[in-house]
């Protein structure tokens, strides 16, 4: 029988107002790539407006994956319709060759919001390809036991998110005292989790606000919810990204040439964005520009 995976690294990141950066491409992102960036965000009251007033900014070479562990946000996009992304739903945005975004969702009528934004490094065939933006509400997202399958496939359940192969990303809630074992697919030697609320026992304690990285390998991850409240967390596993990370201010690519191409496209889009003028919808959102 496999020995359960042990924790090799842990972090509580660095706070920036309602956002705590748990991982960047320049630190843990080099270790757990294709997962290269992770923020946990949390806001209530006046800080909800701060969360909804993020400036427009560009990306290339990556996909962003946004999920909520509490509350949610509304989207309004002429190409995607309207709706709400709450627990179990996802905003998927594959930047590819370049996009500008940051105001495509507004806070829902809730007192408190918490969630995660993840960046995935894309393979060479997608890193400068056509952008894809999807909003998938919770009712249309599958689950396997306590896990919503946000990206990839778990226990025979396939996510509808059009992500590259070899990546799993799960949103999990364990009831107090519940035990759960994650068996990574073959080749998924990268593994980590980040805990939003509650407490976990992963062989050693994990507390709310922590991200932990498991030692490399395909051994199972054995977890139990400690304490008196549910444990809510995201867990990622993947086949390692084999490329060196080439970093721009908002971009991650597999080569210097690919990064240069992405940044040229971002600059071109910036000019077109200025020419487009006010693109704000009646709901106050600004759709992804690509």
The pLDDT tens digits of the residues spanning 171-184 come to 999 999 999 999 99
Say what the pLDDT of residue 50 is: 67
Say what the pLDDT of residue 51 is: 66
Say what the pLDDT of residue 46 is: 74
Say what the pLDDT of residue 4 is: 82
Say what the pLDDT of residue 236 is: 98
Say what the pLDDT of residue 239 is: 98
Say what the pLDDT of residue 72 is: 94
Intervals of the chain under pLDDT 70: 1-2, 50-53
Say what the pLDDT of residue 2 is: 62
Please say whether the beta carbons of 148 and 88 come within 8 A.
yes
The pLDDT tens digits of the residues spanning 7-27 come to 999 999 998 889 999 999 999
Is the pTM higher than 0.85? The answer reads yes
Say what the pLDDT of residue 203 is: 94
CB atoms under 10 Å from CB of 162, counted, come to 11
Say what the pLDDT of residue 109 is: 86
At the fourth CATH level, the homologous superfamily of domain 17-48+67-276 is Jelly Rolls (2.60.120.10)
């Amino acid at each position: 029988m496999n020995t359960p995976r042990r924790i090799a690294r842990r972090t509580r990141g660095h706070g920036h107002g309602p956002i705590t950066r748990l991982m960047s491409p320049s630190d843990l992102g080099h270790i757990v790539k294709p997962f290269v960036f992770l923020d946990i965000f949390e806001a209530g009251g006046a800080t909800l407006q701060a969360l909804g007033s993020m400036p427009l900014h560009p990306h290339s070479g990556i996909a962003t994956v946004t999920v909520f562990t509490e509350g949610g946000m509304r989207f309004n996009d002429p190409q995607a319709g309207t709706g709400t992304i709450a627990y179990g739903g996802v905003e998927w945005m594959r930047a590819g060759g370049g996009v500008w975004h940051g105001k495509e969702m507004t806070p829902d009528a809730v007192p408190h919001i918490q969630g995660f934004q993840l960046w995935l490094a894309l393979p060479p065939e997608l890193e400068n390809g056509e952008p894809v933006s999807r909003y998938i509400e919770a009712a249309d997202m599958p689950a396997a036991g306590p896990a919503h399958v946000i990206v990839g496939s778990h226990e025979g359940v396939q996510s509808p998110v059009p992500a590259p192969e070899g990546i799993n990303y799960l949103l999990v809630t364990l009831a107090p005292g519940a035990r759960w074992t994650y068996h990574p697919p073959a080749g998924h030697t990268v593994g980590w989790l980040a805990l939003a609320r509650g407490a976990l026992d992963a062989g050693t304690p994990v507390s709310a606000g922590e991200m932990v990285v498991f030692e490399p390998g395909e051994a199972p991850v054995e977890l139990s919810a400690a304490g008196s409240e549910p444990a809510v967390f995201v867990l990622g596993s993947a086949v390692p990204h084999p490329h060196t990370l080439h970093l721009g201010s908002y971009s991650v690519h597999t080569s210097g040439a690919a990064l240069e191409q992405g940044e040229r496209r971002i600059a071109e889009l910036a000019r077109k964005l200025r020419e487009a003028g006010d693109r704000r919808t009646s709901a106050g959102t600004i759709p992804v520009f690509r």
